[in-house]
C-alpha cells in the first residue's frame, strides 16, 4: 500500500535523478594490422639417379645383347639349342626397356612438380609485392589514424570521468540529459468540454498560481494512444525551460453527491498514470485533505520535485512537509462515504454543488 503524496517519475528520468547518469564505454584500442608473410622459396625435389635401377637397366640390356649374340652364333653353327636363347634375350631387352621408361617417367614427375612449385612461388611473390605489401602499408596508415583518434577519444573519456566527480557538473549534466528526454512530450490539446471541479480544486489553484505564477495550466488534455478519448489533469505545471510537464491531481475518496468510491488502490488510476509516464510526464497526487489543510506545503513538495531536475525554486523548504496519508482500498472508500468523512475537513462542503 502506497502513501500520499504519491509521486510517480518515469524510470529513465528517475535513474538520472538518482545519479545513474549513462556514460559511453571506454574507447577500444584499434587492432594492429598483421604483417604479411613473405613467401619462402620452395624446397625442390632432387632429381634422383636411381643407381640400382640404372645398374639393373644396363645389366638387362647387356645380358639381352649377350644372349642375342649367343643366339646368332648358335644359328650360324646350325645348333638347335640356339633358338632357346631367343626368349631370354627378348625378356632381358624388354625388362631393360621398361626400367628405362620407369626411370625417365620418375625424373619427369620430379621436374614437373618442381616447375609447379617454382611457378606458385613466383605467383606468391608477385602477389606479395603488388597486393599484400601495399595493402599492409595502407592498413598501417589507417591504424595510425584510428590510434590517433583513439588517444583523443580516450583523453576526452577520462576528462569526462574527472568532470563527473564535480557535483555542479553532474547537476548540469543531469539537467541537460533530462531536458533532452523531455523534448518528446506530446502536444497538449485544449479540452472544450466543461470540466467539473472538485470542492478543493479552486482553493488549491490559488495557491499554485501564487507559488508558480504563469506556469499552471487547466482544461488541457493529452490523447491516449490507440483510444478515442483524452486524459485531463486537474492541474498542469509546465516548466517551459525544461519542457517538463507535471500532472497534479487531487484525490478524493468518493464522489460528493453520489458517494461513489474513487481513487482507491484497485481503481484505474495506475493505468491513467502510466499514460502520462510513458509520455515522460511526472505525476504528483495529493489527497483532498492534504491540499485543503496544507496547500503551501503541497506547493513546496512540487517545487522539490522540480528541483531534483534543476534547482529553479530556491524558496522550496525541506522542512515544510505534507502530512503523509495512506492510500485507501475500495472498502475503506465505501466506509468513508458512509461516514461522510469529507465533511470533517471541508466545513462548507455543499452537497448540491457540482463537485466530484
Q: Best-predicted range by mean pLDDT among 4-8, 33-37, 224-228?
A: 4-8
Question: Does residue 94 register a pLDDT over 90?
Answer: no
Candidate from 108-112, 268-272, 300-304 with smallest mean pLDDT: 108-112
Q: Predicted confidence band at 299 (pLDDT cuts at 50, 70, 90)? A: very high
* Contact call for residues 333 and 255 (beta carbons, < 8 A): no
CA-to-CA separations, 343 to 292, 321, 339, in angstroms, rounded: 12, 24, 9
Q: Predicted confidence band at 91 (pLDDT cuts at 50, 70, 90)? A: low
Candidate from 36-50, 135-149, 154-168, 340-354 with smallest mean pLDDT: 340-354
- Within 10 A of 42 (CB to CB), how many other CB atoms are there? 15
Separation of CA 38 from chain center: 41
Those residues whose C-beta lies under 8 Å from the C-beta of residue 91, and which sit 6 or more positions away, are 64
Please compute the mean of the pLDDT values over residues 13-27 and round it to a whole number.
Answer: 89
Cell numbers linked to 30: 584499434
pLDDT digits (tens, 9 = 90+) for 60-73: 556 656 666 665 66
Question: Does residue 352 register a pLDDT over 50?
Answer: no
Q: Predicted confidence band at 167 (pLDDT cuts at 50, 70, 90)? A: confident
- Residue 237 pairs in a beta bridge with 216, 246
Q: Give the helix/strand (H/E) hosting 231.
A: strand 230-231
Cell numbers linked to 54: 640404372
* Contact call for residues 247 and 282 (beta carbons, < 8 A): yes
Question: What is the Cα gyration radius of the chain?
Answer: 50
Q: Where are the domains of the chain?
A: 3-13+180-345, 24-161
Q: Which residue has the higher pLDDT, 59 or 228?
A: 228
DSSP assignment of 126-147 equals HHIIIIIHHHHHHHHHHHHHHH
Q: Which letter does DSSP use for residue 283 in this model?
A: E
Q: Which letter does DSSP use for residue 217 in this model?
A: E
Q: Which residue has the higher pLDDT, 143 or 82?
A: 143
* pLDDT at residue 119 in the model: 86
Amino acid at each position: 500500500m502506497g502513501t500520499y503524496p504519491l509521486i510517480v517519475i518515469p524510470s529513465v528520468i528517475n535513474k538520472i535523478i538518482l545519479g545513474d547518469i549513462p556514460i559511453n564505454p571506454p574507447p577500444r584500442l584499434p587492432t594492429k594490422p598483421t604483417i604479411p608473410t613473405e613467401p619462402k622459396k620452395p624446397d625442390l625435389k632432387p632429381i634422383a639417379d636411381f643407381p640400382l635401377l640404372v645398374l639393373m637397366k644396363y645389366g638387362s640390356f647387356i645380358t639381352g645383347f649377350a644372349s642375342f649374340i649367343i643366339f646368332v652364333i648358335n644359328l650360324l653353327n646350325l645348333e638347335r639349342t640356339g633358338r632357346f636363347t631367343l626368349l631370354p634375350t627378348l625378356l632381358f631387352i624388354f625388362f631393360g626397356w621398361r626400367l628405362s621408361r620407369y626411370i625417365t617417367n620418375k625424373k619427369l614427375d620430379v621436374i614437373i612438380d618442381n616447375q609447379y612449385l617454382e611457378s606458385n612461388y613466383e605467383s606468391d611473390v608477385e602477389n606479395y609485392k603488388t597486393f599484400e605489401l601495399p595493402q599492409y602499408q595502407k592498413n598501417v596508415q589507417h591504424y595510425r589514424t584510428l590510434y590517433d583518434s583513439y588517444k583523443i577519444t580516450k583523453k576526452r573519456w577520462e576528462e569526462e570521468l574527472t568532470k563527473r566527480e564535480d557535483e555542479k557538473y553532474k547537476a548540469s549534466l543531469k539537467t541537460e540529459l533530462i531536458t533532452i528526454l523531455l523534448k518528446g512530450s506530446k502536444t497538449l490539446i485544449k479540452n472544450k468540454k466543461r470540466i467539473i471541479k472538485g470542492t478543493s480544486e479552486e482553493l488549491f489553484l490559488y495557491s499554485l498560481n501564487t507559488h508558480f505564477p504563469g506556469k499552471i495550466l487547466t482544461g488541457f488534455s493529452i490523447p491516449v494512444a490507440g483510444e478515442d478519448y483524452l486524459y485531463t489533469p486537474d492541474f498542469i505545471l509546465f516548466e517551459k525551460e525544461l519542457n517538463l510537464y507535471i500532472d497534479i491531481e487531487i484525490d478524493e475518496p468518493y464522489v460528493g453527491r453520489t458517494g461513489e468510491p474513487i481513487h482507491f488502490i484497485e481503481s484505474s488510476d495506475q493505468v491513467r498514470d502510466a499514460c502520462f509516464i510513458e509520455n515522460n510526464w511526472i505525476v504528483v497526487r495529493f489527497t483532498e485533505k492534504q491540499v485543503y489543510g496544507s496547500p503551501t506545503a503541497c506547493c513546496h513538495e512540487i517545487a522539490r520535485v522540480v528541483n531534483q531536475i534543476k534547482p529553479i525554486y530556491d524558496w522550496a523548504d525541506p522542512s515544510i512537509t505534507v502530512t503523509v496519508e495512506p492510500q485507501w482500498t475500495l472498502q475503506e472508500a465505501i466506509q468513508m462515504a458512509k461516514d461522510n468523512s469529507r465533511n470533517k475537513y471541508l466545513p462548507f462542503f455543499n452537497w448540491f454543488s457540482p463537485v466530484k
